[in-house]
């Protein structure tokens, strides 16, 4: 039996813009932007939605299950209220049908999701910046995002959850609240947003309208824009690198790891990468990330970092702090790496929609359109920490496959599913099988115990004789 607890927040958001028509999933105009967010564990989910009313009777109603009332704040922005709900105690493999709202506020459609079975062998899909609105109308960004999600979910059945790298929306500084809300509507439009749990990042564009961000998302274990969750045998830590506070992030990382010390893998995700291929590589933000945050990640035992922001794909060498640990051969798709303690791999995603791409750059004002990776190697143009990169100006996504002993990170083209890059992280092996390892531990232990037994036996009879001499019963 599952339990559900609901926390409701009401903050301000913009009304739906004319730029994007009302999403087909909204059954009642009073309820909008229903989103199945990631929960604290794989047996939980954080649901959020927006409502035109602050009605306090809003709920998540589960068919053939519980209905629990939400607590709703009374603060509104542009006529919209955010409502958040946390579902806990979900049964893996069980299908849940749910709707949100109330008779007063109106009801959403019924949606169904099924938490994947618990396993130490599983996967999730990772997307670089959708940044809906970034093309300034030159492309149909909402349609591109829906195409990416629909296509990649179809090509990867059984995926456990989705993760975006931030900049879900463009939120241009000159945009009206109505236009910003239209971008959020488009982000939530794919059906998978209500069928697969999804984790999001706070990118530099999302940061421009934090009221809207917090209205639409309910982040688990959140503190100061950072949050974390566990899923099967992995701990995923999300950092808001818009905030350049090394001490804040260090404390949060250590706290999360201390609370979950026995996971096989620690994966960090944040928007801006330390090792970049575009002009961002030469900005002060990147310098801070390299000089101050990467040593913390190495010291904390983080294995993999996933970022966006670049709109061009990149993979680092294994990094010990800010120091590259280079292979003996040139990096290429298919590489297998075995990190030593403190060595971290950084992956930077290309755009998931193609709303915007950046060229390979060697300075803030030195871009190299259509340059290939091979050309950059031949001309000694690779930036600090870079092992491999790709820019083919088409949308990508990344499939992260998790086992107890490996992380396989496969980046693919959205349209034809061709491999852009593939790299595997293997845990250092002892060189022994499980049986051999057990024997190596147990056999010496038994020998020690046997020796102790023989030693004790030597003293038993003299002790008994002394007890008899004292007239004590033996």
User: Which residues have CB under 8 Å from 51's CB, separation 6+?
Assistant: 30, 31, 32, 58, 80, 81, 83, 101, 105, 106
The number of residues in the chain equals: 474
What is the distance between the alpha carbons of residues 171 and 460, in angstroms, rounded to a whole number?
83
What is the distance between the alpha carbons of residues 345 and 339, in angstroms, rounded to a whole number?
9
Give yes or no for residue 343 having a pLDDT over 60.
yes
Give yes or no for residue 21 having a pLDDT over 50.
no
Q: Residue 83's beta-bridge partner residues?
A: 49
Orientation angle between helical segments 177-188 and 141-155, nearest 10 degrees? 20
- The structure's pTM equals 0.86
The position carrying tokens 């960090």 is 268
How confident is the model at residue 474, as a pLDDT? 62
| Mean pLDDT, residues 315-332 taken together | 97
Question: What are the distances in angstroms from CA 121 to CA 41, 116, 148, 405, 410?
Answer: 16, 11, 25, 10, 15
Give yes or no for residue 116 having a pLDDT over 50.
yes
What is the distance between the alpha carbons of residues 400 and 432, in angstroms, rounded to a whole number?
27
User: Which residues have CB under 8 Å from 433's CB, separation 6+?
Assistant: none
Q: What percent of the chain has pLDDT over 70?
A: 84
CB 224 within 8 A of CB 364: no
Name the phi and psi angles at 17, rounded to 5: -85, 155
pLDDT in tens, 43-78: 999 999 999 988 888 889 998 877 766 656 556 666
How would residue 471 be classed by pLDDT, with cut points 50, 70 and 90?
confident
The overall average pLDDT reported for the chain is 88
Give yes or no for residue 285 having a pLDDT over 90.
yes
Give yes or no for residue 3 having a pLDDT over 90.
no
Of the candidates 131, 128, 123, the one whose C-alpha atom is nearest the C-alpha of residue 155 is 123
How confident is the model at residue 56, as a pLDDT? 84
| Mean pLDDT, residues 193-219 taken together | 94
Structure token digits, residue 440: 């190596």
- Residue 9, Cα to own-chain centre: how many angstroms? 23
Of the candidates 215, 46, 187, the one whose C-alpha atom is nearest the C-alpha of residue 129 is 187
Cα distance between the two ends of the chain: 58
């Amino acid at each position: 039996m599952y339990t559900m607890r609901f926390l409701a927040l009401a903050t301000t958001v913009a009304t739906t813009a004319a730029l994007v028509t009302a999403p087909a999933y909204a059954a009642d105009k009073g309820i909008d932007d229903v989103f199945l967010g990631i929960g604290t564990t794989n047996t939980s989910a954080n649901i959020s939605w927006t409502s035109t009313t602050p009605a306090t009777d809003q709920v998540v109603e589960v068919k053939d299950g519980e209905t629990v009332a939400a607590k709703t704040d009374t603060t509104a922005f542009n006529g919209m209220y955010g409502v958040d709900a946390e579902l806990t105690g979900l049964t893996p493999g069980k299908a849940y049908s749910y709707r949100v709202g109330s008779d007063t506020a109106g009801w959403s459609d019924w949606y169904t999701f099924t938490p994947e079975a618990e396993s130490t062998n599983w996967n999730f899909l990772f997307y670089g910046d959708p940044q809906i609105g970034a093309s300034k109308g030159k492309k149909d960004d909402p349609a591109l995002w829906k195409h990416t999600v629909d296509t990649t979910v179809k090509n990867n059945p059984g995926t456990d959850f989705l993760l975006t790298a931030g900049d879900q929306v463009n939120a241009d500084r000159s945009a009206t609240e109505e236009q910003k809300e239209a971008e959020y509507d488009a982000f939530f439009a794919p059906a998978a947003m209500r069928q697969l749990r999804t984790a999001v990042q706070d990118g530099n564009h999302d940061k421009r309208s934090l009221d809207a961000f917090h209205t639409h998302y309910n982040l688990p274990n959140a503190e100061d824009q950072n949050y974390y969750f566990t899923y099967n045998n992995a701990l995923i830590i999300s950092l808001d690198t818009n905030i350049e506070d090394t001490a804040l992030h260090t404390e949060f990382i250590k706290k999360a790891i201390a609370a979950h010390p026995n996971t096989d893998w620690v994966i960090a995700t944040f928007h801006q990468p330390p090792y970049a291929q575009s002009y961002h590589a030469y900005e002060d933000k990147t310098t801070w990330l390299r000089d101050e945050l990467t040593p913390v990640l190495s010291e904390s035992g983080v294995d993999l970092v996933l970022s966006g922001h670049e709109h061009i794909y990149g993979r680092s060498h294994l990094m010990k702090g800010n120091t590259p640990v280079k292979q003996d051969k040139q990096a290429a798709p298919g590489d297998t790496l075995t990190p030593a303690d403190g060595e971290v791999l950084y992956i930077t995603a290309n755009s998931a929609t193609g709303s915007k791409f950046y060229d390979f750059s060697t300075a803030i004002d030195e871009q190299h359109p259509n340059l290939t990776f091979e050309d950059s190697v031949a001309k000694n143009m690779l930036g600090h920490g870079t092992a491999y990169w790709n820019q083919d100006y088409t949308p990508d996504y990344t499939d992260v496959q998790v086992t107890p002993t490996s992380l396989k990170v496969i980046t693919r083209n959205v349209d034809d599913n061709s491999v852009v890059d593939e790299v595997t992280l293997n845990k250092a092996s002892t060189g022994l099988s499980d049986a051999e390892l057990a024997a190596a531990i147990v056999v010496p232990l038994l020998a020690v115990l046997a020796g102790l037994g023989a030693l004790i036996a030597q003293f038993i009879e003299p002790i008994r004789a002394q007890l008899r001499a004292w007239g004590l019963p033996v």
